[in-house]
Structure 1
Amino acid sequence: MCDPALWDFGRHDPADVPPPRRPWRARRVRLDGMRSGTLTRRLGSAAFLVSFSLGLAASAAAQAPLIDGFGGTVDYGDDCLSPNDDGSSAAIDLTPAFPAGLRFFDRTHTTAYVNTNGNITFSGPLSTFTPRAFPVADQPMIAPYWGDVDIRRTGGSCMGSAGRTCTVCAPCHDPSENGVWWTLEPGRMVVTWDRVGYYSCNNDRRMSFQLILTAVPGCGGVDGDFDVEFRYNRCEWETGDASGGTDGFGGTEAQAGFDAGNEMDFVAIMGSREAGIANRLCMESNVGETGIWRFQIRGGTVVCPDAGMACDTGMEGVCGEGRTNCVGAGTECQPILTASDERCDALDNDCDGSTDEGDALCPGATAICDRGVCVDVCFEGGCGEGEVCSADGRCVDAACEDVTCGEGERCVGGSCVGACDGVSCPRGQECQGGRCVDVCERLSCDPECQVCSEGACVGRCELTGCEEGEVCQDDGHCVDAGCASMTCPDGSVCEAGSCIDACEGAVCPMGESCVAGECVRMAEPPPGETDAGPSMGTDAGMPTETDGGSPTETDAGSTTGEEDAGRTVPGSGDGAGCACRTPTGEGGPMSAGLLLVTLGALLRRRRG
């Protein structure tokens, strides 16, 4: 079952409950590790709603590790709440960590309160244990898990009677578990709910999660801008007894998100206050890292997470694979590949909803495209070794005659393979939809703070640093120290201080050859010539003639008969390349005459 969405950015007008919703743009979105869903962006007066749909995982085992190293009894800091139910900390001065305060929606805050019930607030402490649906009046809040947390039980005893709490829950009693801790350091605040139980004094199920606030490092923002990270490590309950729950479930479940406290602006991770919210938070993510949820607060507004996540554009064919890109305050799924000329590869290359359609997809006058493979006509009822003559008069791989492959796959040696199976793209590229592409080419990153690396926006190295043995370049990327002063010619790259051919080790998609670090379409090579030499890199094999024998296909891989990127190597007998099989045999005058007679009828049956 799919929930309605992944998160909900909203602005709620108290005079109009709920406000009219006018869809602005919709497209299908699939995030890495998540099921498909719908992205809908709604714009109103300073308002928008973004929602993703995804399914719930079946279990809630430990996921994201909690960060530590801050000192104290359990290494989460020296400050903690005393055992309590529904209590809070005293006002915490934020300026040692954030000198300009935190700009959160329409206000800037310099103090915060850590509340037992899974949230921090800015205008005062909050003891409310049953989460109210956002927006909530006059309570600016960041809530990784607003639920009825109870941290009174230590060991086998419950400290204090049911309902007893404290306004300022101090001093810290240094609990070894079931505690709420926090620490501040320049540019960061970390609040940890460590193996906490639920009301009333139950600890048979636990929750472990963190809230991390981080100042924007030096660029891309103004004073008061910050990043938010929710980390979920252990997710075992959703509801306290006083919120209608039984054994930690049912009733009014926990809520996660942000609330401006102005009854208008809020962000709720979808599934909040519904069954399954614990699983969702621990097992899923909005950034592709299980149990981790990240958000950016810029100018007081919650904006989209980092760009570069895999998504589904909703377009036809190869144009359907996309990457998320931050556009304004929302996320847009943009295609990695654009429409191109149709090929014989079992893919919809021109993105028109049809596959392998049209004439002249295969070389040779009599060749046609059959299920992603170029095949030739049967000559006098005969075919090459390992092939059979089909009912349609085509020479097909005997192992593939009765095999039906799924969308985007073709049969090779009796098995279905995808367009990128076995492909090893030139350095700096990856295979998408049967093509090697630079996934950073179409991705827009913040030029002041980020660079694109492997299809994702990451921090510039002068901000994040480099690993040992690397140095930071002026373009914001880390490189091997031996390559820092190297300038390599076109078509080569630097590795370990040496310039090497960018095509070295590359295996291009079917019908392409690596030239100067790029996989490019190639014409049919002359008989007997391969295209896998050192200067050309490797490719999907094309046919060559043997002396009086059947045509064979060449490949840059091994000659063991194994499939390489969906192509056939010598001696395999498979027929998977986009190479056309030619009639075999002596080929005397009578054979030529019969071939001419049959061409007319067979060409009428050619299809794309």
Structure 2
Amino acid sequence: MFYPYGNPFHDHLLPPNDDDSSSEIHISSSFPFFNTSHRSLFVNTNGDLTFLSALSSFTPSPFPYLQNTQIVAVYWGDIDTSKVGDIWYRETTDSVLLQKASSEIHTVFPQQSGFNASWIFVTTWSKVAFYGSNSIGQRMRNTFQCVLVTDGMHSFVIYNYYKIQWTSGTSNNGTNSAGFGSQVGFDAGDGVNYYVVNGSRTPMLNECDGQVCLHNGTCQDLDGLSTWRCNCVSGFTGTHCETDINECHSSPCQHHGNCLDLLNDYSCHCMAGFTGKDCQIDIDECQSSPCMNGATCRDKNNSYTCDCQQGYVGNNCQIDIDECQSNPCYNNATCIDRTPGWDCACLPGFTGNQCTIDINECHSFPCQHHGNCLDLLNDYRCHCMAGYTGNDCQIDIDECQSNPCMNGATCRDRNNSYTCDCQLGYFENNCQIDIDECQSNPCYNNAICIDRTPGWKCACLPGFTGNQCQIAINECNSNSCRNNGTCVDLINGYRCHCSNDSTGQHCEHRLDHCSSHPCLHDGSCINNYGGFKCECKDSWFGDICEERQTNDSEGCSVLEYSECSCFTQQSKQTKKSIKMLIGSIGCVIGLLFTILSYCAWMMLNQSKSDRKIYPHEATILQHEVFQESKNVKKSAQSSQRINKLHESRLRKQKQQKEHHNCFLDHSGFDFSKLYVNEDGSRKILKCRHQRIQNDI
């Protein structure tokens, strides 16, 4: 019976190839092979497993093979899977498969009844073809399987074969449709220890090689391919003739007879009144002619009756009424009238002329096994020693019949006792105590220890993993924090520390720097990392579209403020420009007003010399605004500073609209750039007014 394999059982698939091998496969259990325990192996295309190194040889060489080449040759031949066939392999500790492997080993090797598999490695060559097969040979496939089994100390190898339709490839002197010479066995690689199945490296293998037929059964190779049969001797059955047939199973004993199973036979202990092989014969009690003096006997079930001739009485018509009236016979014996005289017919258990002697039935020592015999009337009774029963103490009581051994233990019957061979993880007389492997507290981080048989298992709290829950799970491995957020691992969780430009549980939301509508004069706001950018309309410019460009042809009517005194320098008048005279008068008046205003301002603020502002410094504002914008972009708090700049601009504009007059002196210096705030501080503000170009 093949072990399950393929994709549904999560097997690994060896890629299609010719004469190739798997990479080194590290296994979870140590596998003893002769005198070496291995922790890795190789699956080779050509029908074998090896330890220590891979094997690509397609020629099945005789054993012993090369030194230090340890081989498990399942069907070592020239296999080619580049066109057809699959090679599957996996290791498993599935409890059902472990029990299956253990049962098969117990059946074939009864002396290994205590073996319990803990690990198996299943390798299956499914429908593989030989190298060089033609269109006919391509349809000839072999399917076979190797199962490595161990309990950590002992190891077994199970070979399973389904269909064997070829034995070798063309490179080993085979034909295009068949071949010869595959090797089956194993080699320790030391030149001494090896085993070869009879018929290996010949054109056809005998399927009976390696098969065990128990109890003198004989193996028969049925078709020369993969089918065989054990022909069992009478009394046994089963695949390997391992089962003793219970001939009493069919209840052959009739009339309530008791059946005793024997080897290829049975014996019936019949009820009184019956006899025969199967107690099928009703004993004719009249056959012995018990009725006397011409009496007629009538047979009954385990008895009879006598119809006496006239003048005789008694059960057997044995009593002559006259001679026996004095009752000469004792112990209930029957008196037989004679002529002359009488005879006493003693009851069973008595003897003597008058039946006075009690026969001692214990004289023949019927009680076996040192039983004590008690003589009874026509009978005896045996008082048996402990551990025995039966009329003659002939039956050894099977103390295992009551199934005293618990938890899967094996019961061994002894004289008036029994012993239990416990499974791993149990002890005491009846194996009733489960060893608590959790007493050593193997689990870490407050995990719950679950006792197993054998072993233990840790139920980890959320956030931990590992056989002993010793590994804290790093939830940050999933990279859940976005936008350059920093992940901080917690127990069964994590926390994202977001950068200044993102927010949210996973830093998935970017900050909207445009939410305060910082761009003035219908400017469009573009949200960026670390800040925003304004795209201004028409002639507006600046970081938040707070500046406006004007050309020299514009007059005061297009300027922002309603209170504006505009003056120009004197220019050469023409006949057509009467406005120049008006402008000159305006300049004189503006100059006088400027001087008076400036003197009054200096007198009011002469004590605050550290805040003195000189006219030649009045042109620095625009430069400072742009310089500040550059510095803001370079700082870590650029967004906040730009927002503050935006708020400051709005306050300036409001103040300018409420308090500002714009005029020029004769030198062209715009004193409106000097502005005193309501709190007494001084700032240099840019006057938005332009000079009016004289008409020519």
Higher RCO (CA < 8 A, seq sep 6+): 1
Larger radius of gyration: 2
State the TM-score, normalizing by the size of structure 1. 0.34
State the TM-score, normalizing by the size of structure 2. 0.30
